[in-house]
C-alpha cells in the first residue's frame, strides 16, 4: 500500500519551484521507488497487489490545487500505463481515490494557507483564494469530508476483493464530477461548470453544503 503524500494549496505565483519539486518527489517519485522495489518479485511469483492511495484530484483538477493535482494526475497516469503489463504477471494495481478526508494532514495544509504571504500575486487572486476558496473549503470538508477510518474500510474492501478494481472512488458525491469530465472531451462543459460554481454561485454552494 502506497500512502505517502504531502499537500499544497494556493496561488501558483506564491509557491516556490523547490517546494513543488519536493511535493512531486514524495507524491509521485515515492510511489515509483516503491513499485520498482516490489514489482520484480511480484512478477517472479506471478502474484501480488499494489494499492495506491490517489485522489479524486487525480481525475479532475481543482482551482488553487495546481501542483497537488498534477502529482496525482502523474500517479494515475503511471498506474494506468503499468496496469496492463502487471496483469500479464497476475499482479493487480488498484487506485483508491478519496475526496476530502478530515485528518491532521488536511488541517495542516489549510492552517499554513491561512497564514501564508500572498504578496507575490495580484490582490484580486489573493482575495479569491482567501475569501472564496478557503471559506468554501471549510464548508466542503465539514459537509462532504470522510474520516480516516472510512477510507481505511474502503481500502480494506479493495485489498480483500476477489477481483480488485483498478479504480475505486470512496465518496459518491464526487462521481458526477468525474463523469462530467468524460462526457465532454473538449473540456468546455466541466470548465464552465466549475467557473460558475466558484465565481457565480458560491453563495448557493455554501448554503447547500450547510
pLDDT tens for 14-52 read 999 999 999 999 999 999 999 999 999 999 999 999 999
What's the rounded Cα separation, in Å, for the pair 37 and 49?
13
Contact by Cβ (8 Å): 133, 89: no
- Per-residue pLDDT, 144: 82
Domains annotated for the chain, with CATH where assigned, are 12-209 (3.40.50.720)
Question: What are the C-alpha distances in Å from 141 to residues 34, 161, 210?
Answer: 30, 29, 11
SS3 content of the chain, % helix, strand, coil (to 5): 65, 10, 25
pLDDT mean over 151-170: 96
- Rg of the chain (C-alpha set): 18
- Note if 118 is an active site residue: no
pLDDT tens-digit readout, 46-68: 999 999 999 999 999 999 999 99
Over residues 88-113, the pLDDT tens digits come to 999 999 999 998 888 777 777 778 88
Mean pLDDT of 101-127: 85
Kindly give the pairing relationship between strand 167-169 and strand 91-97: parallel
Instruction: pLDDT band for 138, please (50, 70, 90 cuts).
Output: confident
Residue 142 pLDDT > 80, yes or no? no
Nearest to 53 by CA among 102, 117, 96: 96
Task: Say which residue the cell 468525474 belongs to.
Answer: 178
Q: Provide mean pLDDT across the span 68-85.
A: 98
Amino acid at each position: 500500500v502506497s500512502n505517502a503524500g504531502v499537500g499544497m494549496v494556493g496561488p501558483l505565483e506564491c509557491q516556490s519551484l523547490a517546494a513543488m519539486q519536493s511535493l512531486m518527489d514524495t507524491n509521485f517519485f515515492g510511489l515509483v521507488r516503491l513499485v520498482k522495489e516490489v514489482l520484480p518479485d511480484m512478477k517472479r511469483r506471478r502474484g501480488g497487489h499494489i494499492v495506491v492511495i490517489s485522489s479524486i484530484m487525480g481525475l479532475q483538477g481543482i482551482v488553487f490545487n495546481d501542483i497537488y493535482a498534477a502529482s496525482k494526475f502523474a500517479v494515475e497516469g503511471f498506474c494506468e500505463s503499468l496496469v496492463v503489463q502487471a496483469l500479464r504477471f497476475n499482479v493487480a494495481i488498484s487506485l483508491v481515490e478519496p475526496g476530502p478526508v478530515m485528518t491532521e494532514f488536511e488541517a495542516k495544509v489549510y492552517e499554513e494557507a491561512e497564514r501564508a504571504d500572498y504578496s507575490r500575486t495580484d490582490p484580486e487572486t489573493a482575495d479569491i483564494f482567501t475569501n472564496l476558496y478557503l471559506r468554501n473549503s471549510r464548508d466542503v470538508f465539514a459537509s462532504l469530508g470522510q474520516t480516516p477510518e472510512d477510507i481505511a474500510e474502503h481500502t480494506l474492501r479493495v485489498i480483500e476483493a476477489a477481483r480488485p478494481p483498478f479504480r475505486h472512488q470512496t465518496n459518491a458525491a464526487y462521481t458526477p464530477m468525474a463523469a462530467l469530465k468524460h462526457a465532454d472531451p473538449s473540456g468546455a462543459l466541466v470548465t464552465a461548470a466549475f467557473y460558475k460554481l466558484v465565481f457565480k454561485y458560491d453563495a448557493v454552494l455554501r448554503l447547500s453544503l450547510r
